[in-house]
Amino acid sequence: MDTTAQVAALPHVVIIGAGFGGLQAAKAFRKKRVRVTIIDRTNHHLFQPLLYQVATAGLSPAEIAAPVRAILRGQKNATVLMGMVTKIDMGARQVILDHGHRKVTYDYLILAAGGSTSYFGHDDWAAVATGLKTLDEATLIREKVLMAFEMAEKEVDPQLREALMTVVVVGGGPTGVEMAGAMAELARFTLIKDFRNIHPESAKVILIEAGDRLLGVYTEDLTSYTEEKLRKMGVYVRVNTRVTNIDAGVVETSGGVIHAANTIWAAGVAGNPLAKDLGVPTDRGSRVIVDADLRLPGQERVYAIGDFAHYEHPHTYGGKMIPGLSPPAIQQGDHAVKNILLQMAGKPTEKFQYSDLGSMATIGRSAAVADVHGFHMKGFIAWMAWLFIHLIKLVSFQSRVVVLMRWAYSYFTWSRGSRLIMRSPAEVVADTRLAADVELGIEPPEAPVPFESLREVVKEDEGVAWPGPPWSSTS
């Protein structure tokens, strides 16, 4: 066994981010003669592909996340630090945590801090259109939607009740499709028996996409299947529709104005704010552009992987940019480790080759689409494949067992067991116009009433309600 001094003399690899890429890299250093420090702003590794299930009350947060410390418990050469990386000084080879409270010096650095939500230049929309990237956002969506149904149950004004039971999902990519399908199922099959005054099955879930079809990266047959399936589930699919403004309770689009208590933003992803200060080239989405071996240009010892990086080189994936998905992040985590070990051995680094595993998206219960190297699957078979793949990819055995049991139970009972509202009404409405009302001197009620500002909006825009029935398409 090494003495403390011998361990301290080992090369120190710092990994920022314990997501798919960073965690894979940390694990790949197991039993290697290096010291690894992995830093994350949260204490958990999050399985983002199932976030929409937390947002729609199908799963609990603990079922899709696991403490990083527990995952790496048995790996003696790995240290876990929970902290926000606020700066990187590549000249001094230092990572600065929590605004300078702690500095960590590295010999090699792997940037795996993932991406962020992009509002396409409208950052003010973030306060009223919740993104879906973290557990906090997923639980906020869940609680706001459930709270809106609670308010609707005691609301007497039919227009306001309708607005309370309207959810707008912006963005027709895989996340938007999954979210819209699951929201419709939550309302139409789960909540249907729980209320006496309202009819949850008449809730409006509106999916808005600026392009001319959903799931734009998939082939047209899979897109048509998805649109038709969603419409049958009661989702109002609106393609060729641009969002022009979002405010609390109102979504303005090129096709009309929608009154909705809840708007979910599933439209854009961008790089991590950390990338901006590195002084290296970034793409339009602020992802750092990396060399063929995954290093930052001009930086001998700094690698960037996963959603943090823009990887586009002629030798792989037809020269196209590698997509922001978990398999590339995992493969790049392994490759960065391989190259660091080659560097330590005094050998040249190797180019990264992407092995494309295909893509799949779930639409709802018993329906999914998949495209694996041109082989298309849809319907129940694709859904079973989706379930199986997502189950085995969950990081802990315990999560796999619990999630499998929850899915099986939900499948037969239509139940969604995680329907608790944990925040106070004030916290739930913190991002509605109520806060602005208070600022303007409008007397606040003793305890804030969630979605109160919606009442004003509905009255102001009386008569311009939109859209039509789920099966009609927009022009």
Ligand X SMILES: Cc1cc2nc3c(=O)[nH]c(=O)nc-3n(C[C@H](O)[C@H](O)[C@H](O)COP(=O)(O)OP(=O)(O)OC[C@H]3O[C@@H](n4cnc5c(N)ncnc54)[C@H](O)[C@@H]3O)c2cc1C
Which one, of 74, 64, 57, 61, lies nearest residue 19 by Cα? 64
Near ligand X by CB under 6 A: residue from 182, 210, 329, 336? 329
What is the per-residue DSSP string for 389-410?
HHHHHSS-HHHHHHHHHHHHHH
Among 27, 35, 133, 144, binds ligand X (CB under 6 A): 133
Q: Kindly state whether residue 324 participates in binding ligand X, applying the rule CB under 6 A.
A: yes
> What residue number has its CB nearest to ligand X?
19
Residue 453 lies near ligand X (rule: CB under 6 A): no
| 450 in contact with ligand X (CB under 6 A) | no
**Binding-site residue total for ligand X (CB under 6 A)?**
34
The residue from 178, 209, 227, 452 that is catalytic is 178
Dist. CA 145–CA 99, nearest whole Å: 35
Stretch that binds ligand X, among 118-126, 156-164, 318-326, 424-432 (CB under 6 A): 318-326
CB-neighbour burial class of residue 456 (10 A; exposed 0-12, middle 13-18, buried 19+): middle
Q: Which residues, at least 6 apart from 346, have a Cβ–Cβ distance to it below 8 Å?
A: none
Site for ligand X contains 325 (CB under 6 A): yes
* Single residue of 48, 253, 263, 432 touching ligand X by CB under 6 A: 48
Region from 40-48, 186-194, 402-410, 422-430 binding ligand X, contact rule CB under 6 A: 40-48
Least separation in angstroms between CB 274 and ligand X? 5
Which residues 248-287 are close enough to bind ligand X by CB under 6 A? 272, 274
Does position 308 interact with ligand X (CB under 6 A)? The reply is yes
Beta carbons of 46 and 64 less than 8 angstroms apart: yes
Residue 425: its H or E element = helix 425-428
- The stretch near ligand X (CB under 6 A) out of 102-110, 230-238, 321-329, 462-470 is 321-329
Among 15, 64, 132, 243, binds ligand X (CB under 6 A): 132
The span from the CA of 395 to the CA of 46, in Å, is: 9
Among 418, 417, 420, 428, which residue's Cα sits nearest to residue 453? 428
Q: Which is nearer to ligand X, 223 or 326 (CB)?
A: 326
In the list 173, 181, 306, 448, the residue contacting ligand X (rule: CB under 6 A) is: 306
HSE-CB at 443 with a 13 A cutoff on CA atoms is 2
Residue 291, C-beta contacts closer than 8 angstroms, at least 6 positions apart:
297
Token duo for residue 85? 């990386």
366: its two tokens: 């018993």
The nearest distance, CB 248 to ligand X, in angstroms, is: 23
Query: Binding marks (x or -) toward ligand X, 360..399, rule CB under 6 A?
Result: ----------------------------------------
Stretch in the footprint of ligand X (CB under 6 A) among 184-192, 245-253, 306-314, 402-410: 306-314
Which lies closer to ligand X via its Cβ, residue 43 or residue 240? Answer: 43
Give residues 64-103 in contact with ligand X (rule: CB under 6 A): 84-85
Piece of the chain touching ligand X by CB under 6 A; list 12-20, 146-154, 223-231, 238-246: 12-20
Quick note: the x/- pattern for ligand X over 151-190, rule CB under 6 A, is ------------------------x---------------
- Measured CA to CA, the distance from residue 223 to residue 359 in angstroms comes to 13
Q: Tell me the two tokens of residue 74.
A: 């048995």
**Which contacts qualify for 377-383: CB closer than 8 Å, 24 or more apart?**
378/221, 378/222, 378/225, 379/225
- 49 is a contact residue toward ligand X (CB under 6 A): yes
243-247 vs 102-105, strand pairing mode: unpaired
Complete DSSP assignment for 11-77? -EEEEE--SHHHHHHHHHTTTSSSEEEEEESSSEEE-GGGHHHHHTTSS-GGGSEEEHHHHTTT-TT
Q: Give yes or no: 178 in active site.
A: yes
The correct pick among 11, 42, 211, 232 for binding ligand X (CB under 6 A) is 42
In angstroms, what is the minimal distance from the CB of 363 to ligand X? Answer: 13
| CA separation for the pair 29, 77 (Å, rounded) | 8
Q: Which stretch binds ligand X (CB under 6 A): 43-51, 157-165, 277-285, 288-296?
A: 43-51
Distance, in Å, from the CA atom of 457 to the CA atom of 393, rounded to the nearest integer, reads 44
Where in the sequence numbering do the catalytic residues fall? Answer: 178
Positions touching ligand X (CB under 6 A) are: 16-22, 39-42, 46, 48-49, 51-52, 84-85, 112-114, 132-133, 175, 272, 274, 306-308, 324-327, 329
